Each structure stands twice: as structure tokens, then as C-alpha cells.
Structure 1
Amino acid sequence: MRQCSLPGIAAAALLAVPAVAPAQSPPPAQPKAAVEAPRGMVVSASAIASDVGRNVLAAGGNAVDAAIATGFALAVTYPTAGNIGGGGFMVIRFPDGRATTIDFREKAPAASSPTMFTDSTGNYSSRIHHNSHKSVGVPGTVAGFALAHQKYGKAKWNGLVGPSATLADTGFIVPTGLAASLAGVRTKLSTDSGSLAAYYKAGQPYSAGDRLVLGDLGKTLGRIRDQGRDGFYKGTTAQLIAAEMRRGGGLITEADLVAYQAAERAAVRGTFNGYDIISMPPPSSGGVAMIEMLNILEGMDLKAMGHNSPQYVHSLVESMRRAFRDRALYLGDPDFTQPPIAKLTSKTYAKELRATIDPNKASPSSPADVAQGYESDETTHYSVVDKDGMAVSVTYTLEAGYGLGAVVDGAGFLLNNEMGDFNGKPGLTDSTGLIGTTPNIAQPGKRMLSSMTPTIVARDGKLVAVVGSPGGRTIINTVLEVVLNLTAFDMPVQDAVNAPRLHHQWLPNTVTVERVGFSEATLDALRAKGHVVRVGGQQGTAHSIAIDPKTGKRLGAADPRDRDAGASGH
């Protein structure tokens, strides 16, 4: 059973800005109902990749196995964010209610330093920070998948990687979203000879319906299939990565690759109106910030306000404002800092914050408090549930769309530019969006702060939903809103995913709303409360799964904002 989402703006075509990108086309048609399946379900940004994961489930693999297979397939079919050259996070909930997480966020190379993004004069350089080989972090995806498989997988490793190696070797039919995406980023990718050779034919974009063959990527995936994590972090692939770094002036060495380790971390947990919220802890800020916001909102009668009414939006924005301020002040890699997670996720602290909210007036946001730095929109999320009720929520990324835009010569995969998620320079905080607070300054071996928010919702010991989204800092708020739609408003999962979204991140002090779904009267009422409102394009792509409480069926909701997405069940 599969459903591809209907035409809309491809995620890769959105501008990589901290808020919502301007709309470039009419809004997509919205599916009215989720795809149903009795046993297992995979929902991702690529219908092809969802099928790969679904086939693993049908063959007896568990949700972790299917998540690994789907992730490798996305590295082939969704190159804007699917990756083996990047990193991310995995949240796992077992059928008995236990939960854990796998942190495979990229790390800073050993030669990194707090001032590495400055030029020869000591001034901050955005180019070095985001668009040079120094912006490449040590990739974590392969190590993360290997750790997850070692601890919790069931199927054989080669059967999870093999389908993607074959997919790259023999090629796949280019879907409409990928064709539009590659056409849209031709200028960026054409500056790198490897990217131009891999993703264009005679320098021109592939059309929908063409066959795209990625031979070098297939060879790299073959080494991972046959050698496990060593097929990436040692030997031929590692040598090719190190050579690419030397060629481009990057910092990653073969020693950095060998030293990389993914980490298993305790999930961050909260509650909201009787629901259990399970999400990712630091170095992701998403789980902590979302639980902080849910705690603030739990003390309000949201349903009585009405979904997306002026008072509801005002309440959301004021909770977002406070959580994003705390995000910037306190959160970073827990191996280097000590974020006060217990305080930030406590009901007592939320009560204190709630008391500072004026129901009739917007709060100020001052650069003197803290500013937010850049974080790209180009990430991808996928959700998996198996026949036993094991659930996996994965969000991973290359940072910008197509990462650095550089393919490792001979290895066929795109490099991340994830070091751009570190703060630019110690002490450099201003109203333009730069931030220089200590917790997220670059250091050797440190993981950069993220907004990724892979989340699982349960109630009374039973699985309710698997949620997540791409979107830079909008991720946290997108996931928050889908969770609220499910738990506070009892929406069917497809309606919860389709519903219009909004975003506020402390600074810039702007409420951004999706173009479709908010009336002028609502926007005027928000302005009357003192909010600065901007109408933008689409926000996030929350590929989600819910469990029908009566039948136990898996309900897969592909987000129609992602035109190549699909839900695939069995």
C-alpha cells in the first residue's frame, strides 16, 4: 500500500533561511486520508525509499532495520538531504514502552578551533563558515546506522544496504520533485566537477522520467554493504574523503574518520495532557525546546481558543519566544557543556514562564538577550512502525540543500556543510542573526547544536504517533504543531500534517505563517497585539505515522508539501 503526496514545492527548492521560504507556486493538493496498513508502515520524502523500507518490514525485519534501509535509499533518491556524508538523530521506542536514541550528529575535526571561521584579518567570514571545505563535519550517518543495527537490528546488514547499492548502480527513474530540485540548484552544483558529473547529463538537469545512475555512489554503498562501518571510515572511502579535504582545504583526516563514534543517549521525555512525549536530547535542541513549550501550553485551554485562532497563535508564539531564547542561552553538545535539561523541561519552570505571558500583548525580543544563528531548512525526516509496535523516528541532514554542493571524487556522495551550525565566532552576537554564546562554539570532537526533533508520542503504554520534520529552526515548531493537532485537537493524522503552520524563533522578532490557512482577520488581530507578521511559503514536511486506537492499523501520512514523498505499508 503506497501513496505519493501530490504536487507541491519540493523541499529542495525552498530557500535556506531560518524562517519559511516565500511561496513559488500554488499550494499543493492535500490528501484527505492517511494510507492504512495492518502491520508495518514507512513514510519518507521519497516514495522509492519508503518502498525499500517497507520491503524490509515485509521480509521480517524490524523498525530499526527498515529505518536503516530507508536511510541508505534516501542517500540515493533524495540527495538534497538524504545522505551518507552527513548526520542526524534516531529515536526508538520499543513495544514495551522503553525508549532510547542514537546520536549520529557530525563532529568537528581535530584541527577545529573556536576562531576557525575567521579570515586572515580575524574577521568573521560567512563563506568559510558555510561554503568552504572547512564547513564539513566528520560524517556520522553510517556509524549511527551501524550502531543502531548492532544493538537493536534483526536482519542481516548486507540486506539493508544492498538494495540501495543496487539502486545507485542500476539507476532509478527521476521523479518530478527531484527533477525540479536539480534544475533549481544547477548553479550551486555546477561549481563542483564531481557534482556536475554525478547529477547532470552533459551539464543539463535530468528530466522527470529519465534514469539517473550513480555509479561511484553505488561502489561506496557496496563497500559499506560488505565491510560495515569500516567500508566508510577506513580503506578506500576514507582515503577518498581525506584526499577531497586536502584538495579543497578542509580539515578532516583519515584519523578523524577512524575516531568517529555515534552515541546512544537517553531520550528526553515529557508529558502533555496525559500523552507521553519522547524526543531527542542535546546536541539536538528540539526535544527540550518542544517539551518546554508543551509544558507552558498545558496550562492553557487551547481547544477553547480554537485551532489557529488569534489567541491560539498568540499563545504558541509566546511559548516559542521563550523556548528559543533558552535554546540559545543553554543548549549545546552535552559532552562539552552541562545543559540544564531537568529545569528547562520541568512543569515548575513552565509555570514561571507562563506567568510572564500577557494574553493581550506580544513580548519584546531583544538582541541584548540573545540572537539566533543560521540553520538551513534542508533536512529530511522519516517515520517507521513495524508489526510489533516498535517505532523509529529519524531526522538527518547535510545542512544546506545538497550540503556543500561537492561530491567526493571517486566516492559519489555529497559532503555536508554542517560546521555552519556552530556559532560563528566567540562573543559575536548581533541582530543580524549571528550568535557567539559559549555552549555552541566549535571545538575539536564537538557536535554542533541542532533543531532536529524526531519524536514519538504514546499514551497509557501504547504507541500513538511518530512525528518529525525538516526545516532548520522551524523543525521544532512544526513538530510541536503536529503534536498539538493530534493531542489537543484530536485531528486525524493526515489532517494534523496538512494543517497550516507558523513559526517564531525569538529573533528575528517575526511571526511567519504559511500563505494558505490564516485569514486576514487573524493576522490583523495578531498585529493588534503587537506581533510583526510575515506571510511566507511552506513550512516543513512532517512525514508521520499514527496508530488507529480501535483497529491497531498503521496510518501513514506523507506531507503533501514534499512532492516525491510516499507512505508505504504492508
Structure 2
Amino acid sequence: MNRIAWLLLAFLLPLAAAAGPAAPAAHPPGAAVASAHHLATEAGIEILRQGGNAFDAAVAVSGVLSVVEPISSGLGGGGMWLLHDAKSGRDVFVDGRETAPAAATPDKFLDAKGNLDPQRSQNGPWSAGIPGLPAMLVHVAEKYGRLPLKQSLAPAIRIAREGFPVYARMANGYAVKRQVMDRYPGTRAVFSPGGKPIREGDVFRQPDLAATLERLAAQGFDGFYRGTTAKRLVAGVNAAGGQWTLEELAAYRIKEREPIHFRYHDWNITTAPPPSSGGIALAQMLQILAPYDLKAMPEAERVHMVVESMRRAFRDRTFYLGDPDFVKIPQRLLLSPDYAAGLRAGIDPDKATPSNLLSGQPTPLEDEETTHFSIIDADGNRVAATQTVNLLFGSGLVPPGTGVLLNDEMDDFALKPGTPNAFGVMGYEANAPKPGKRMLSSMTPTFMESRDKVVVLGTPGGSRIITMVLLGILGYDAGLEAPQVAALPRYHHQWLPDVIDAEPKAISAEAAQALQAMGHTIELPPDRAEGGRGSSHVWGNLQTVEWDRRANVMRGGSDPRNPEGKAAVLAQP
């Protein structure tokens, strides 16, 4: 955390002390929604006003994001949602991750020399896994919601049919990916109607996607995974050179899993289990850091300790984590405080620990792809939901007549052991593709709960998701509120490449010099590293909401890096 944030904290704490003690409230005074697009947040509030709960609102928010953020997520992708049911007190992780088609064996992604072919793993029909998000919407609505799916999806259907203004991030992303997207007639029909590519300010209408959403709303699971939509998806993928079957679509199933629970200082943390790597990595990092008084440390020493915790967690991610339905994960060991103590013992407080097998490649950015939203309702139900199509506009392929932009999640498998994927992370047998297997993810939807606060948070960002959530937790632990947490500067380390990547103002020039003297390599922004190849822009899109039990108020924080995002609070009538 930089000096500005700590000064802000120093200002906030005396105010909190002056207010005096108060008993924590038993129920929230209203609801709060934060998402990456104002239309999605407004849809969630609309459904809450209609009598829906947080889970109905989540379906509405997700549905609208699937329409207005094709750059980030959609019906052709998947998601990982963390739910808390206030009545039962139960937390559940709902796994809507994509699955590998049977034909997508590792050899399909290699070139003639046996090297990983990014064109196959990141673009087009072979890059796409079987989508999970439509099944997620049906599952959550039917099992946890109050309202019919048709009602919760109505805002998404309306916006898909009537259109919305194309914003700069979407137009710029399309310009980057257009060469790939223009290969496919179904994609051209959506994004270059009449041969005219979308531009900022255009009204973007998606009648085929509206019809697909209507079939899903009316028929539930069968409205997407069987019948008209399924036939069009399979036909479109196979016509583009891929190999899907109707049977694979119909066989897709949502998985409910037990979340990861652990304690950090005064907080109970609930987060994502495998096939997300986020929860285990988050628990390892926080348990390594738990004995330290980070607030009292000089900046360079604090960043050093946090980076060393990141390094060790990402090393374990590489070798041990995958789909728990296919591989045995030593989860109990990896989550053990004793194991964390052993990792901590290997940290030299004055010197960086070199990572092995340095690739020498910078960590690619993923600020626009993937999306997250957070919700707490007036009953205390809560949702932390992260969903994605993986890279920018996913595979770039829209099967004709569906409006569904397919993901490119196959790149998240270890398609060639020991070879980094688009995010610079690598894997081995634990994350190798097999028919029906779910690829490893970094999605880290998370709850924090103390006597005084309930917090929901998460973010997009590829492998950076985990470290952004870590820094968000540290911000809340330091006393910051939702808007300040969403705005915190960020830095990241993922074992390989052995580099600290930092946003502007995340690390002071003085601290950077001290870290370099310790042996760290830092990719500084150009204004601090003239001529360097550091990040020239910020990353992430953190969305968080909190219920302050002491003050009995709701707050939301939508990442100021994203001008389309919005946090909104709905007061209880």
C-alpha cells in the first residue's frame, strides 16, 4: 500500500474511534451492488426492487454483463460464484467453469515442430471449452432465487434487443481483435453489421443473442444445451474447423463445491476452492503474512514480505493444482498453518529469493478480460461472482444465429507441460486437458467477515486476480472502506517470470531502489523507468461491497480504473 493510502487510513481511524463503540447490527439496512457496467448494476437493483433476493439480482447482473461486456464474459464462457445463504448460514461455491471437449487433446494445440500454437489455443474453434455460464444462471435461479428465470433475465433480453452505446474499451478491444473476429461470418454479422465495424457511440444491438437468452429464460437448461441453440452452436463450431458434439453440450453439469475457509487476523475468509487456484494461493499468502505487523513496516520491507508470499504461493500453484474431479490435490497440506510457517521460515527479510527457470518474459496484462460483481441484500444473502470468456473477446468465434461469443479457455490448460500460457503461468500433468475436465482458474470470489464488517470482493485480471484480492483484503484489514479498497494501487509477482510488476504509484521510487538492492527485479512504469518495458497502464477492475455492522450502513466500491463500472446502494423501505 502506498503512502497516500496510509495517510488516508491515518485520517479515518481517529474518526472511527471518536464515534464510540456500538453493538453490531443484526441485519443489513438495505442492499448493495457493484459491477463493471452501470447497466448491469442497475439491472441488479431493478430485480431487488421487484422482490428478488441477491441470487436473483446476480442472475440479472450476470445476464446484462453477458450482453454489454462481450469483451469480458458472456453466455459462451463460464464463471465461479461464491454464495452465502443468510437463512441457513451456508456458504457454497458454484462451479460453472467450462469443460474440455473430448476431441481437444493436447496434440491438437501443437505446431509441426511440437511447440504450443497460440493461434489454436487462443483463437477460433479449438480454443473454446463447453460453456458453463448458462447452466450457472439456471442453477442459481432455480435453487436459490425467488423469482422465475424469465423475470431475472428480462433486463438482459431487453438490452440485447434494444441495444446500448458502444463504449471506448469495447471499441478499442474490437480493433485489437478484429483480424481474428473477421474470419468468422457469425462474428462479422454481430460486430461488423453490413460490413461496418462497431465504433464508440454506436448503438449495439444483438437480436440473435436476445433470442438465445429468450430460449434460455423459457426452457431453462434445455433452452441452451439442447434444441435450437445447441444445434446452432455445434454446427458453427464444426463449420469453423472445430469438433463439438450435441452429446457434450447436453452432458454439461454445474458442480457445487465446499469453499475454502480460513482465518486472517480478526477476519473469517471464505473463498474459491479448486479448480480455482485462487483460494489456496490466497490462504497460503495470508497465513505466511499473518504474524507480521505490515502497517508498522517501512514500505520496502512490507512489499518485500508480500512479494515473497506471492512467489511461494504461485510456485505451488504451478505444480499441485487442477480439477479436483481428475487429480488428487494435497489441499490439507497446502492450507495448513504449519506448512505456511515452513514457507515463511525460508524468507530472508533482507534479500529476495530467486525464482528458478526464469522465462525472461513480461507478464501479459488482462485488464479488460473477465469481470466480477459483488452483491449483499437486505436479508444478508451475498454473492461474489467472477465470470469470463478468458482473453479479449474470447475465441473471437460467434456460431451463426446464436449471438454467443465463445470462450478461449482451453489456453488455461497446461497444453504443453512447462510452457507458459497467455498469462505467463505454466502447469504440468495436474492441469492437462482430458474430456470433460475443467481448466485451472485464477478466479477468486471472496467473502470477509468480522464482528464489525461483512465484505464481498473480487476482480478480473488473469493471474493477477489472486494478488489483487490479496491487496484488497490487506486494505480492509488496515481499516479502509470499499471505495478506497477498489482504488488501491497494485503490484504483482507470480514466481515466473521473477519480476515485480507494479502500477504507477504502487511503489515509491525510494522503495523501488531498496527492493532492487535486495535483489528484486521490478518492472516500473515508464515515468519511473525511462526506456524500460514496464506497465504503461493500470490493471484490474475490482468490485466490492461491504456492510458496516457498527455504523449499520452499506457501501460499494467500483474500480475507478473502469469508467463504465458502478456501485449502488438500495435503502430498505
TM-score, reference length from structure 2 = 0.88
Aligned residue for 1:155, secondary structure, equals coil
Alpha-carbon offset, residue 553 of structure 1: 2.1
1:160-191 residue CA offsets vs partner (Å, 9 max, x unmatched): 11221121112123344434443444344333
> What code does the residue aligned with 1:497 have?
A
What does residue range 454-533 of structure 1 map to in structure 2 within 5 Å? 454-460=445-451, 464-487=454-477, 489-533=478-522
- 1:355 corresponds in structure 2 to 345
- 2:322 corresponds in structure 1 to 332
- 2:441 corresponds in structure 1 to 450
CA–CA distance in structure 2, aligned partners of residues 182 and 402 of structure 1? 8
Matched, 1:63 2:62: no
Alpha-carbon offset, residue 539 of structure 1: 2.3
CA–CA distance in structure 2, aligned partners of residues 358 and 349 of structure 1? 17
CA–CA distance in structure 1, aligned partners of residues 405 and 148 of structure 2? 26
- 1:544 corresponds in structure 2 to 544
1:526–1:552 CA distance, 2 compared to 1 (3 A): same
CA–CA distance in structure 2, aligned partners of residues 542 and 235 of structure 1? 37
Alpha-carbon offset, residue 376 of structure 1: 5.3
Aligned residue for 1:539, secondary structure, equals coil
What does residue range 402-441 of structure 1 map to in structure 2 within 5 Å? 402-426=393-417, 433=424, 435-441=426-432
Alpha-carbon offset, residue 330 of structure 1: 0.5
- Residues 115 and 426, structure 1, Cα contact 8 Å, conserved in 2: no
CA–CA distance in structure 2, aligned partners of residues 257 and 282 of structure 1? 22
1:372–1:137 CA distance, 2 compared to 1 (3 A): farther
- 2:21 corresponds in structure 1 to none
Which shows bigger deviation, 83-92 or 162-171?
Answer: 162-171
CA–CA distance in structure 1, aligned partners of residues 171 and 365 of structure 2? 25
- Residues 431 and 507, structure 1, Cα contact 8 Å, conserved in 2: no
- Residues 366 and 460, structure 2, Cα contact 8 Å, conserved in 1: no
- 1:19 corresponds in structure 2 to none
Among 332, 337, 343, the residue aligned to 2:333: 343
CA–CA distance in structure 2, aligned partners of residues 372 and 173 of structure 1? 34
Alpha-carbon offset, residue 447 of structure 1: 0.3
Alpha-carbon offset, residue 324 of structure 1: 0.2
Alpha-carbon offset, residue 214 of structure 1: 0.6
1:40–1:424 CA distance, 2 compared to 1 (3 A): same
What does residue range 165-564 of structure 1 map to in structure 2 within 5 Å? 165-305=157-297, 309-367=299-357, 378-426=369-417, 433=424, 435-460=426-451, 464-487=454-477, 489-535=478-524, 536=535, 537-564=537-564
CA–CA distance in structure 1, aligned partners of residues 173 and 364 of structure 2? 22
Answer 1 or 2: higher relative contact order, Cα 8 Å, separation at least 6: 1
Aligned residue for 1:292, secondary structure, equals helix
CA–CA distance in structure 2, aligned partners of residues 339 and 236 of structure 1? 39
TM-score, reference length from structure 1 = 0.89
- Residues 500 and 520, structure 2, Cα contact 8 Å, conserved in 1: yes
CA–CA distance in structure 1, aligned partners of residues 439 and 420 of structure 2? 17
CA–CA distance in structure 2, aligned partners of residues 387 and 200 of structure 1? 43
> What code does the residue aligned with 1:342 have?
R
1:530–1:551 CA distance, 2 compared to 1 (3 A): same
- Residues 166 and 218, structure 1, Cα contact 8 Å, conserved in 2: yes
Alpha-carbon offset, residue 463 of structure 1: 5.3
CA–CA distance in structure 2, aligned partners of residues 374 and 108 of structure 1? 24
Which shows bigger deviation, 516-525 or 346-355?
Answer: 516-525
What does residue range 88-127 of structure 1 map to in structure 2 within 5 Å? 88-95=79-86, 97-120=89-112, 122-127=114-119
In structure 2, stretches of 5+ residues that fail to align are 1-7, 13-27, 525-534
Alpha-carbon offset, residue 384 of structure 1: 0.9
Alpha-carbon offset, residue 97 of structure 1: 3.6
CA–CA distance in structure 2, aligned partners of residues 550 and 459 of structure 1? 11
1:69–1:338 CA distance, 2 compared to 1 (3 A): same
Which shows bigger deviation, 106-115 or 156-165?
Answer: 106-115
Q: How many pairs are equivalent?
A: 533
CA–CA distance in structure 2, aligned partners of residues 426 and 115 of structure 1? 12
- Residues 43 and 543, structure 1, Cα contact 8 Å, conserved in 2: yes
Aligned residue for 2:161, secondary structure, equals helix
Aligned residue for 1:522, secondary structure, equals helix
- Residues 311 and 493, structure 2, Cα contact 8 Å, conserved in 1: yes
1:506–1:230 CA distance, 2 compared to 1 (3 A): same
1:379-421 residue CA offsets vs partner (Å, 9 max, x unmatched): 1111111111111000010011110111121101101010110
> What code does the residue aligned with 1:132 have?
G
CA–CA distance in structure 2, aligned partners of residues 340 and 189 of structure 1? 41
What does residue range 108-147 of structure 1 map to in structure 2 within 5 Å? 108-120=100-112, 122-147=114-139
Alpha-carbon offset, residue 263 of structure 1: 0.3
Moved over 6 A (4+): 371-375, 429-432
In structure 1, stretches of 5+ residues that fail to align are 1-29
Aligned residue for 1:40, secondary structure, equals strand
Alpha-carbon offset, residue 436 of structure 1: 4.9
Alpha-carbon offset, residue 198 of structure 1: 1.1
1:511-552 residue CA offsets vs partner (Å, 9 max, x unmatched): 001013422111111101100000222121111101123232
Which shows bigger deviation, 178-187 or 509-518?
Answer: 178-187
Which shows bigger deviation, 121-130 or 264-273?
Answer: 121-130
Alpha-carbon offset, residue 446 of structure 1: 0.4
Alpha-carbon offset, residue 343 of structure 1: 1.3
Identity %: 40
Backbone CA RMSD of aligned residues: 2.6
CA–CA distance in structure 1, aligned partners of residues 78 and 151 of structure 2? 22
Alpha-carbon offset, residue 122 of structure 1: 4.0
Aligned residue for 1:116, secondary structure, equals helix
> What code does the residue aligned with 2:336 have?
S
1:266–1:232 CA distance, 2 compared to 1 (3 A): same
- Residues 429 and 437, structure 1, Cα contact 8 Å, conserved in 2: no
CA–CA distance in structure 2, aligned partners of residues 375 and 227 of structure 1? 38
1:275–1:449 CA distance, 2 compared to 1 (3 A): same
Aligned residue for 1:115, secondary structure, equals helix
CA–CA distance in structure 1, aligned partners of residues 105 and 363 of structure 2? 18
Which shows bigger deviation, 232-241 or 166-175?
Answer: 166-175
Alpha-carbon offset, residue 493 of structure 1: 1.6
1:139-178 residue CA offsets vs partner (Å, 9 max, x unmatched): 0001112122222111111101122112111212334443
